[in-house]
Structure 1
Amino acid sequence: MHKKRTIKIISRIILVLLVLVALTLLGAQLLAKDAIANFLKTKLPPHIQLAYEDIDVNVLTGTTKLNTIDLNIGISDSIRPRASAKIEALEVVGLGYWQFLFNKKITLTNINVDKPVLKYYLKGKEDKATKSKNDSIGLKKSIHIDRINIKNGSVTLFKNPEDSVAMKLDSVFFEMDEVVTDRNRINSKIPVAYSDVKFNGNSLYADLGPYEALNVNEIHLDQGHLRVTDLKLKSKYSKTKLSAHLRKEHDYIDLKIPQVDFDEIAFGYADAKYWVRTGKGTLQGPNLEMYRDKLVADDLERKKMYSEAIRKLPIQLDVPEIQIQDGAITYSERVNRETTPGKIVFGDVNAKILHIQNVPERKEKTSVAARALLMGEAPITLNWSFDSKNTRDAFLASGTVKSFNSKNINPFLESNLRVRAKGEIQELYFTISGDAVSSAGDMKMKYEDFEFSVLKKDRLRINKVLTAIGRIFVNDGSNTDENGYRYGGIEAERDPTKSFFNYLWLNVNDGLTSTIIGNGKNKRRKN
């Protein structure tokens, strides 16, 4: 009897305790919900406006979930908007109470963001003046989050509130692990540290300026490996319409790359500069078409050598290797209104580019080893190297052309130079060394039955007088050394308003002229 009574008393005590715990949890739940709601209502800065449909709180699991969120962020001391976001649901999971109460640390298991639609307005010129100390974040506790998850989002960047889209990306999935920040890091250039990032986005559009736009089908980043598929960089206008928009020369561009891969992508900020480094990169099947309307006024701005451009990048860059596989390049020029622009075509383009870097302590030179088929049939090679840290912009280049029938390039020569070529270049070799001012080198050729015909202005008939005069000076390839070669020297001065490849062509052109018109002897050879 006494035993039964004891059990009954214990049962009632347990029941009372359970009721008390339930009431305590219910009270804590209500207090927590009210506290969070009050914080979001009263503690956010005045330039941040937040609305939501409802809020769910689970004290036992440390979970808070907001549904149907509408967020607007302005600029401090300005009426201009900075960003807005509509989010289907935001869930914070696994708040560590002990760390929060006793160690001044916020620990979370997950932050899950479902279907965010973000709009961001890029800074205007006046934003620097409106920036104030209030824009900094005063973080009293350090934060550690096991994982941040963003599912099926979209991002749109606008040039300003009234202007067009600068960038848009859909179907964004983002995952960041072991995210850490504190009062010092939160206001730095990279406000968090993390262990790994996974990212996927579709249908990227980026406005690259008044004339070009970039489109990408998919971007995928996982464990440092980046893959970009169906990249297209193209002029916004057709060739004819582009010329109508230009005041000075600007190339029409149509670049397609089916797949781009980079290993070991990493980035950071140190010594007041962002840095980016990668492993090996591969461009598969790039196809580039370029067109230049020479009837438009020349662009007389100074052009940087590639070494200077890399040296003066606003970021520190370190890319050990890029391979170009199975590419194609087509270049054409319009030099008069009467004829169709001729084309130069490079097929089966393969190249290896090593050490694209501007790291001060690194000594490796940037080098390019490329091969292709000129006009689809003649094998050509180019080897080119330079040191981006060399302020003279010194470079070394060499190349070869073999088994080239000159008639294949006649459409380009007739349209652009008003000449017609005949004969075969069996072998051509050149070597050039130079800097940003001048260059020198040598060339040797083996060719036969080579001659030029100068055309009349209609480019249909031969100017017999000029052609006859030219043939007096041009050797047809019969006056050679015992191995069948003729030799020439190279001297050229760079036009700083032209590109490096124009400079390279000036060198090759001078070598061709010297080899074909000169005495053809090897000046290095001892008598």
Structure 2
Amino acid sequence: MNKQIKRAFYIVFTLGIVFIIATISINIFLKNKLESFVNERLPKNMIRSYDAITVESFGGSLSITNASLIIKNKTDSLKHTFINVEKLKISHISYWDYLFKDEIHIETISVENPIMAYYKDRVVPSTDTVNKGIIDIYKPIFVKNIRIDNSKFVIYEKGKDSTKLYTKGLSVAVTGIKIDKNTVRRKIPMIFDNYKATSDSVFVKVSPYENLTVKDFALENTVAIFKNLRLHTKYSKTQLSKIITTERDHYDLTLKKVTVEGINFGFNNRQFFAQSKKVSLTAPSLEIYRDKLAADDLKTKPLYSKMLRELPFELTVNSLRIEDAKIKYEERVKAENMGGSITFNNLNAAISNLSNTYKSPEKTTIKIEANFMDSTPISVDWSFDVNNKQDAFLFQGTLGTLAANKMNNFTEPNLKVRLEGKTNKTFFTIDGNNSTSTTNMKISYSDFKVKILQQDGRKKNTVLSAIANIFISKNSTENGDSYKKGVAEAKRDKSKSVFNFLWISIKAALTKIMI
């Protein structure tokens, strides 16, 4: 072996040794830096542990296995947040940006199989985090991709039925992330470009009585799709009647699909806002049951305009569409039966400006087309200005031919009244506000009769029926006009719902016309 070959061999060997030593040194340096950050830079109210930290300096990557983080209150040290991660990997850290730009640039952060539990009733807010982030950020952090795979997330609250929210199989991907000393102070402590989330199961406790479940959802940037939703009362009808002290509706709502497009959300001056260009509800089916034998709930019920106006956040939904809906409303008035029902099917609705952000004179408008009691077409135009403090509204409706006996399913068990005859066409306009309404109606009907039933709800009370029909006009034909017309006023019972107000407004006009 000549001298040149030996010299080349020694140079390569020396460089190899230097490279190995440098790699080991950098690994040790980076590992120490990370351990120092975990042990010293995280706040004292965060308890952290892990099995191992592995550093690959040549590729600029590091990973932590079986990591856990517990967050407790600063005031009383009560633990409220628990996070366990099977593996956390940070890939392709840029040393150049770190050394020469004083910035941290990362290609990918991946989190595998995390389990997160949050006990909201244990949290005591700390006053020193209002204008300060959870942790101090000395160098801007830029991350190209963050992936969270197959996570479970649970929120608990007080009580036996303590699960407030639960989701499993949740995966999240976010790109173009920036975190610095300014963003970390915000409600959403980062800036990002795109996001995506999927889950195969979601549960939400909406109230002490109702639960919401979603079998599958996908969220990507500005579009969210939720499939097989169900919002329902967790008690049976009889169970609910036993535990409530005042009237409360029993719900069962199912939706095949909900699509939300043009999503935007965030905070303006720490005020939350949510926006959507279009929301579509596909094939919803709603059953509502009310036991009127329970005591009245005398709390004031706001109209929809006031409910929107007083939301604790800014809501903007440009358009909401409902396709092929079914609604069944049951009401129990008499103790001896389970009540009667009315139905709507083939219901389609278009709602514009479902919002509390637009200005007058722009209005929320609702247009509905449906079949009432199986075969009677009904159309509704409803509008109100959310900014009107008197909650003024206009409700216009048209009802097609209705055989009166179709209503007996509701009137017989609840009112002990059987109807005969038919209405041919009905037009009505309700001009109302939070206190009163004026209803203008015209109706064409024929052979209309009322049978008052005995207490058993079967046999006719001959005397009362005869007296009632003396005062009821049997046909609408009058002076050559096939329509009878009338105008009536009604006063709102503010402890009742908006639909009760609409009903008593229509009833007042019907009474004036037919009696």
2:309 to 308, 311, 329: 311
* Residues 255-334 of structure 1 mapped to structure 2, 5 A cutoff: 255-334=253-332
Q: After superposition, where does 1:137-152 map in structure 2 within 5 Å?
A: 137-152=135-150
Separation of aligned partners in 2, 1:361 and 1:100: 49
Paired AA for residue 273 in structure 1: Q
The aligned amino acid for 1:290 is I
Report deviation, 1:363. 4.8
Distance 1:363 1:138, change over 3 A: farther
Structure 2: distance between partners of 1:46 and 1:426: 76
Unaligned runs of 5+ in 1: 518-527
Deviation at 1:163, TM superposition (A): 6.5
Q: Could you tell me how far apart the structure 2 residues matched to 1:75 and 1:163 are?
A: 24
Which residue in the other structure is 2:92 paired with? 94
Q: Which moved more, 1:62-71 or 1:281-290?
A: 62-71
After superposing the two structures, state which structure 1 stretch, 166-175 or 268-277, moved more: 268-277
* Equivalent of residue 442 in structure 1, options 425, 435, 440: 440
Equivalent residues in 2 for 1:171-190, closer than 5 Å:
171-190=169-188
Moved >6 Å (runs of 4+):
none
Contact 1:76 1:135 in 2 (8 A): no
> What per-residue deviation string (whole Å, max 9, x for no partner) do you get for residues 496-519 of structure 1?
1111111000111111112212xx
Q: Which runs of no fewer than 5 residues in structure 2 stay unpaired?
A: none
Report the alpha carbon displacement of residue 429 of structure 1 after superposing the two structures with TM. Answer: 0.5
What is aligned with 2:480?
Answer: 482
Bigger mean CA deviation after superposition, 7-16 or 381-390: 7-16
- 1:75 Cα offset (Å): 1.6
Give yes or no for contact 2:166–2:203 (8 Å, CA) kept in 1: yes
Q: Which residue of structure 2 aligns with residue 421 of structure 1?
A: 419
The equivalent position to 1:451 in structure 2, one of 449, 461, 465, is 449
Aligned to 1:345: 343
CA distance in 2, matches of 1:505, 1:362: 28
Aligned equivalent of 1:127, options 117, 124, 128: 124
On the 8 A contact 2:98/2:105 being kept in 1, the answer is yes
Per-residue CA distance 1:464-488 (angstroms, 9 max, x = gap): 2222221121111153353411111
Indicate how the Cα distance of structure 1 residues 113 and 335 shifts in structure 2: closer, same or farther if over 3 A, else same: same
Contact 1:250 1:292 in 2 (8 A): yes
Match of 1:219 in 2: 217
CA displacement, residues 297-339 of structure 1 (integer Å, 9 cap, x when unaligned): 0000001110010111111111111111111011111111112
Which deviations, in whole Å up to 9, do the C-alpha atoms of 1:200-231 show, x marking residues without a partner?
01211111222111111012111311100111
Aligned equivalents of 2:374, 2:152: Cα separation in 1: 43
Q: Give the whole-Å Cα distance in 2 for the aligned partners of 1:474 and 1:325.
A: 39
Distance 2:359 2:377 in 1: 38
In structure 2, relative to structure 1, the CA distance for the partners of 1:425 and 1:472 (3 Å cut) is: same
Q: Are the aligned partners of 1:256 and 1:288 in contact in 2 as well (CA < 8 Å)? A: yes
Pick closer, same or farther for the CA change 1:161–1:305 going to 2, 3 Å.
Answer: closer
Q: In 1, are the aligned partners of 2:133 and 2:185 still within 8 Å (CA)?
A: no
Q: For residues 399-437 of structure 1, give each alpha carbon's deviation from its aligned partner in whole angstroms, at most 9, with x where no partner exists.
A: 011111010110210111221110111100001111111
For structure 1, which segment, 387-396 or 69-78, has the greater mean C-alpha deviation from structure 2 after superposition? Answer: 69-78
Aligned AA (1:74): K
* Cα separation, 1, equivalents of 2:369 and 2:41: 63
Number of the residue aligned with 1:382 = 380
Aligned letter for 1:67?
Answer: T
Measure how far apart 1:37 and its partner are.
2.5
User: Deviation at 1:155?
Assistant: 0.4
The 2-side partners of 1:49 and 1:85 are apart by 10
Judge conservation of contact 1:401–1:429 (CA < 8 Å) in 2: yes
| Residues in 2 aligned to 1:115 and 1:427: alpha-carbon distance in whole angstroms | 62
Quote how far apart the aligned CAs of 1:89 are. 0.4
Shift, 1:187, TM fit: 1.6
**Separation in 2 of the partners of 1:5 and 1:63?**
40
Q: Cα distance 1:362–1:317, how it changes in 2: closer, same or farther (>3 A)?
A: farther
1:368: which partner in 2? 366
Does the 8 Å CA contact 2:222/2:264 hold for their aligned counterparts?
yes
Q: In the aligned structure 2, how far is the partner of 1:23 from the partner of 1:136? A: 37
* Paired letter, 2:124: D
Q: Assess, with a 3 A threshold, how the Cα gap between structure 1 residues 416 and 474 changes in structure 2: closer, same or farther.
A: same
Matches within 5 A, 1:7-46: 7-46=5-44
Distance 1:230 1:490 in 2: 44
Displacement of 1:107: 1.4
Please say if residues 43 and 135 of structure 2, whose CA atoms lie closer than 8 Å, have aligned partners that are also in contact: no
Alpha-carbon separation, structure 2, partners of 1:162 and 1:505? 40
Contact 2:489 2:508 in 1 (8 A): yes
Query: 2:370 is paired with a residue of what secondary structure?
Result: strand
Matched, 1:164 2:193: no
Identity %: 32
Q: Summarize the Cα distance change of 1:469–1:413 in structure 2 as closer, same or farther, 3 Å threshold.
A: same
* TM-aligned CA deviation for residue 383 of structure 1: 1.1
Identify the residue that residue 429 of structure 2 maps to in structure 1.
Answer: 431
For residues 216-247 of structure 1, the C-alpha deviation after alignment (integer angstroms, 9 at most, x for no partner) is 10121113111001110111110000011101
Q: Distance in 1 between matches of 2:29 and 2:94?
A: 18
Change (3 A) 1:150 1:429: same
Between 1:96-105 and 1:265-274, the stretch displaced more is: 96-105
1: CA distance between counterparts of 2:41 and 2:178? 23
Higher mean C-alpha displacement, 362-371 vs 36-45: 36-45
2:230 counterpart of 1:237: no
Q: Where does residue 250 of structure 1 map in the other structure?
A: 248
- Select between 471-480 and 406-415 the one with higher mean Cα deviation: 471-480
Aligned-pair distance for 1:45?
Answer: 2.4
Counterpart-to-counterpart distance in 1, 2:27 and 2:136: 28
TM, length-normalised to structure 2: 0.96
Distance in 2 between residues matched to 1:233 and 1:208, nearest whole Å: 9
For 1:110 and 1:274, the matched residues in 2 are separated by 29
Helix, strand or coil at the partner of 2:412: helix
The whole-number CA distance in structure 2 between the counterparts of 1:334 and 1:484 is 36
The one-letter code of the counterpart of 1:422 is E
The residue identity in structure 2 corresponding to 1:149 is R
For 2:112 and 2:18, the matched residues in 1 are separated by 36
Name the CA distance, whole Å, in 2 between partners of 1:18 and 1:387.
77
SS at match of 1:8: helix
CA contact (8 A) 1:260 1:284 kept: yes
Which range moved further: 300-309 or 133-142? 133-142
Q: Which residue of 2 aligns with 1:209?
A: 207
Q: 1:265-293, CA deviations, whole angstroms, 9 ceiling, x for partnerless residues?
A: 11011144111111221111100000111
- Aligned CA distance change for structure 1 residues 452 and 437 (closer, same or farther; 3 Å): same
Shift of 1:492: 1.0
Three-state SS of the structure 1 residue aligned to 2:334 is coil
**What CA deviation, in whole Å up to 9, does each residue of 1:318-372 have, x standing for no partner?**
1111111111011111111112311111111111111101115475311111111
Which secondary structure state, in structure 1, belongs to the residue aligned with residue 401 of structure 2? strand
